[in-house]
Chain A
Amino acid sequence: MKFSISHRTEYVYTAAALESFSELRCHPQNCIRQTVLSHEMILSPSVPIYFYTDYFGNKTSFFSIPFKHNRLIVETKSIVLTHPYPDPLGGVNLSVSEALIIYGFERFELFDFLLPSKYISLLSETKELSSKIFQREKPLIEALLELNQFIHQFLSYAPGTTDISTSVSDLLKLRKGVCQDYSHLMIAVLRSTGIPARYVSGYIEPIKEESSLKQPIGVATHAWVEVYLPNKKWVGFDPTNNTVEGEYHIQIAVGRDYDDVAPLRGIFKGYHGQELNVAIQVERV
């Protein structure tokens, strides 16, 4: 499927910012699932943009505005072709305990995705959940799908109830959240089990007949989870929609949690206070 994505972020400062420095992670990645046909980034005020690849392999752009400015507009326009990925979960006929043994051999390489991170702490509650779902003899894929469904049912989608800093323990009490919280909770359970899992940020096209969406989520960026399977493949699970990553998911960045993949991170010097406007459009072309 071919998607045209436009993402516009606008910061309006209450008083002119004297200088600012920003880092962006909103560049769709070329990978086995998708091909980026074109990508364009427009800045206002216009300054040169630089790139680097971060620790997790994400293409990251950054720029500094060393003069007074009242607003900052970042607009990206991309055309991405997503490829069908038939049967992503096929060929893994291992039980949870067998999979864990295999993960043990790659512990060094996968270590980052087994550890607690800034927003994902491993708690006794997540341990309990993991032991309930990931019984040792159960087939791994079955358990993963069960977890995906469990998280989907456990939390109810309620924008505005949580924010970036909502912890996993708060989520367990609140039982409400957005895609980011669904993903954080699922990763916490997976890592408590010892299964390597990472956070994916991206876009999604809301297709009602394919997903069991309660409301459209095409208005904002989306987040889901990738699990490392014993066949050395990262496979995406979307607990918000209770699906496996499909053709309508467009990946931007991967990391340990939201902190590693925040779409725009920056600082400015000036008076406190700013207004943020975000407009995202994902359209099939």
Chain B
Amino acid sequence: MIIWKNILKNVAFLDEESLEKAQQSLSLYFKLNGICPSPYEENLDYCIDPWPMVLSVDDWMEIRVGVEQRMSAWRRFLKDLYFEKSIFKDKVIPFEPFLSSDQYRRECVGLEPPGGEYFYIYSCEVAKEENGKWVVLRDEMEQPRNLMLSEEIRKGLKEALPQLFEGLEIMPLTGLPERMLEASSQNLSDDNNSQIAIVAATAEDWEAAILARRMGIPMFLPSDLVVLQGKLYAKTLSGLEPINILFRRLPDCLLDPIATRCGAQEGIAGLFWCLRKATLRLINAAGCGVTTDPLLQSYGSKMIRYYLGEKPLLNSLPTYPAYDPDVFSLFLDSLQDYFLKDRNGHSVALEKLLGKDDKTISRFDCRSLVIQKKPRLKKFPSFYRTTLSHKPAALVLFGVVKNGKPELLPIMFGKVIADMTFQDKNQLAFYKDIWLLQENSWTFPNVNACVNVSVRSRIAPLSRVAESMYWMGRYLTRSMQLNHMLLTVRSFGDEAMKGESEDAFQNLFSEVLGYFVILSTSFHSIGSKDFSTLFSSFFTGTDWYDSVVSCISKCYENGRKIRDSLPPEVWVALSSLFFSLQTQPHVKSSINYDQSLNEFSIGSDRLLAIINEHLLRNELWKFFQIGTFYEKGKFTLHLIKLCTKITEKKEALFRGFFLQVVMEWILKLTSALYAYRSLYHYPFSPKNLIELLLFDRQFPRSISFCLRQIEAMLQFTERIQNISQKPLSFVRYMVAKLKRWADEIGSNQEKDIENIIQFKQKIGEIEKEFYEFHSLLSDEYLTHQSTYEHVAVDEGKYVTD
């Protein structure tokens, strides 16, 4: 009773207004953490109901025993289905609907998964009926989804409404990834070199990324994997790394383009070869897709009786095949009591299927549809669409099979079923937190205990990840350079660009901007216009060309692709910078330029600091740094070229005061003003400036410094076998060449102006080498092709029989 008093005390202050606020901050939390229901639709958000549902221990016990019984029956069924088929032969359940189903995979018949277990992870949806009995709405074994949602809802709710949790001991929801890892690595052979990985259909799959991070395993895309001699390998920078256990986030039909006949772009060609040779443990095993069939799920009770000889503790929803004309006419007579679903559990709208007279079925294959009875569910308080009301809710639960024993974990979240007709697994639902409270003598099971898994090992980074990291470095630096340029222009003021030297300034300005790729229309309009035009093109421009906003979006996109490799702090800093720019007003007049520019400076510096702090010991950071210094070097090179161009000009204008202004400008653009002043005297000399930007070993934007940094970053390749060292040798060559040139100039101090003309040609050479280096880096490390060409295959003629 004390617990309930505490809960009542905690919720007493919650009115609709504060709940709405909590809901908004919950969506913000989800957005910043990049959690969205579909990896393909970024703008789709999860809707979270901040009002938690309290589950009593009695209810939990009832569910746990019932679901574990169900899991045992499913284990036996899957093995039976792909081997003996005794349940069909004994006529316990009809075979026609299942053996004719598309999800019944003939290629899995007689294919025993290594370890003998078909599923290790299980998920189901249960709900309480009005009569107080729990009913199973759905089972999921093919590729359970939303595994990390419960944890994220709890975290978000704790951030949004911390008062709600005061003085309560609520079952913590952490520990699912660890349990999954423990269950899946059971009964491994003595081979200790097992490597676990996760494969996701797209790199933007947030959940796979979080799972991979939490489990400490790499995440791959199907294109990162290759099958050789019946074994699965990942293509990494240092060659092929074998994979023994694979968590899949792909449905059965997209596993192998040859065996399951999916498109060549999807799936891993030859995966079934590994399964046939039993060199790979797929989690969950291929063939589990058949269990998503609602019709098969409705036979759960019969399976329990047949396989376990027990009385079923939980019922499932009565479901009938729609191809039976009697069943279908019955359904049409009492539409309000039934759902029409396809064999994957998706709701089907009746209107699409019916002909004119409403009773004939037009143009659809009844074989693929089922009719399911609507349950009458108990309602729970929920905050649904800005009002507090009572709505039916279902529980989504997760279980693991460990050493052949099913175990339902006390990890769950709630799903508000607002409209029973849309009880669909893919329909956008309202989710809520579930509280399991410590009551009476019952204590929490120890789900957070450390698990002992000995199979983790480090894998060298993938070229795909290195590539994204490299581009993140480049885009972040580019955006910072753009921002810095705008700040510099701002510091000169609008007046500086007007007056006598206006045209010359315009020219100069166009030259500087020539480095950045912008819309040709905005390029021509820059100039005599005011700062607002400049700002709207180079800061807020949202085209695919360079602007601060678009550079950061590209940086964010690259980050999204490699979320599993980014520490959460880096990810949150990146997404908050991205979203802060997304919400910037794009209005010209009212905007406070200085504030926006300064805010971005602070935000980007912070992001950089966080990246440097959290990724310092990581090989990926090296690629980030290579990108950063490459970009810095290229920009400096551009300004040096500009400097030589101006010095060449013979007009009087470029000799006097204006030249000094231009020099100062270039120095400010590269943040080199103070460095220059500490080395040389006034007035600015083009030669000194060029020398500083080219050869200075300490100045962090000089070409020499950038090249040395890149060299240092690439030195790790010397330690790894099989990895190409071409880029490193090339950078070393560039550094040596630069040094020789610096020495030459040092010995020819007298010839001043002539040297600058000579510079031009050599700078052109360096620029060319920069491009060459980029293509070399791309070829060697950043594309998939080059990493696995060295596989040795025995020569000879293979005669069979």
Q: Report which A residues bind B (CB closer than 8 A).
A: 18-19, 21-23, 27, 36, 38-43, 45-52, 54-55, 61-62, 64, 66-68, 108, 111-112, 115, 259, 265-267
Interface string of B781-801 (1 = CB under 8 A from A): 000110011010111111111
The answer to whether A51 touches B800 (Cβ under 8 A) is: yes
In the bound complex, what is the Cα–Cα distance between A61 and B797 (angstroms)?
Answer: 15
Chain A interface helix/strand/loop/mixed:
strand
Checking B85, B269, B797, B800 against A46 with a beta-carbon cut-off of 8 angstroms, the contacting residue is B797
Q: Name the CB-closest residue of B to A115.
A: B100
Shortest distance between the CB of B783 and any CB in chain A (Å): 10
Task: Given A41-B800, A259-B261, verify A47-B793 contact (CB < 8 Å).
Answer: yes
Q: Which of B58-66, B225-233, B684-692 contacts A (4 or more CB under 8 A)?
A: B225-233
On chain B, the residues within 8 Å of A62 by CB distance are 258, 270, 273
In the bound complex, what is the Cα–Cα distance between A42 and B794 (angstroms)?
Answer: 14
The answer to whether B791 touches A66 (Cβ under 8 A) is: yes
> How many residues of chain B get a CB closer than 8 Å to chain A's CBs?
37
Q: Which of B44-52, B88-96, B137-145, B348-356 contacts A (4 or more CB under 8 A)?
A: B88-96
In the bound complex, what is the Cα–Cα distance between A41 and B106 (angstroms)?
Answer: 27
On chain A, the residues within 8 Å of B800 by CB distance are 27, 39-41, 49, 51, 61
Shortest distance between the CB of B17 and any CB in chain A (Å): 57
Asked if B251 lies at the interface with its beta carbon under 8 angstroms from chain A, I say no
Q: Which of B276-311 contact A (CB under 8 A)?
A: 276
Q: Name the CB-closest residue of B to A260.
A: B106
Shortest distance between the CB of A178 and any CB in chain B (Å): 22
**Which one of B99, B100, B230, B269 has the highest number of Cβ atoms from chain A below 10 Å of its Cβ?**
B269
Task: Given A18-B785, A52-B276, verify A64-B798 contact (CB < 8 Å).
Answer: no
The answer to whether A64 touches B269 (Cβ under 8 A) is: yes
On chain A, the residues within 8 Å of B258 by CB distance are 21-23, 62, 265-267
Shortest distance between the CB of A14 and any CB in chain B (Å): 16
6 A-B residue pairs with CB within 8 Å: A40-B799, A48-B798, A54-B107, A55-B109, A66-B228, A68-B789
Other than the given A48-B798, A61-B800, 20 more pairs (CB < 8 A) read A21-B227, A22-B258, A23-B258, A39-B800, A40-B800, A45-B793, A46-B795, A46-B797, A48-B793, A55-B106, A55-B107, A62-B258, A62-B273, A64-B229, A66-B226, A68-B789, A108-B95, A111-B95, A112-B106, A267-B264
In the bound complex, what is the Cα–Cα distance between A266 and B258 (angstroms)?
Answer: 7
Shortest distance between the CB of A54 and any CB in chain B (Å): 8
In the bound complex, what is the Cα–Cα distance between A18 and B791 (angstroms)?
Answer: 12
Q: Name the CB-closest residue of B to A45.
A: B793
Shortest distance between the CB of B235 and any CB in chain A (Å): 10
In the bound complex, what is the Cα–Cα distance between A19 and B273 (angstroms)?
Answer: 16
The answer to whether B229 touches A48 (Cβ under 8 A) is: yes
Asked if B603 lies at the interface with its beta carbon under 8 angstroms from chain A, I say no
In the bound complex, what is the Cα–Cα distance between A13 and B784 (angstroms)?
Answer: 19
Q: Which of B95-150 contact A (CB under 8 A)?
A: 95-96, 99-100, 106-107, 109
Shortest distance between the CB of A124 and any CB in chain B (Å): 13
Q: Name the CB-closest residue of A to B95.
A: A108
The answer to whether B99 touches A21 (Cβ under 8 A) is: no
Asked if B177 lies at the interface with its beta carbon under 8 angstroms from chain A, I say no
On chain B, the residues within 8 Å of A27 by CB distance are 800
In the bound complex, what is the Cα–Cα distance between A48 and B228 (angstroms)?
Answer: 10
Asked if B700 lies at the interface with its beta carbon under 8 angstroms from chain A, I say no
In the bound complex, what is the Cα–Cα distance between A21 and B107 (angstroms)?
Answer: 17
The answer to whether A50 touches B230 (Cβ under 8 A) is: yes
Shortest distance between the CB of A50 and any CB in chain B (Å): 7
On chain A, the residues within 8 Å of B788 by CB distance are 19, 66-67
Shortest distance between the CB of A127 and any CB in chain B (Å): 15
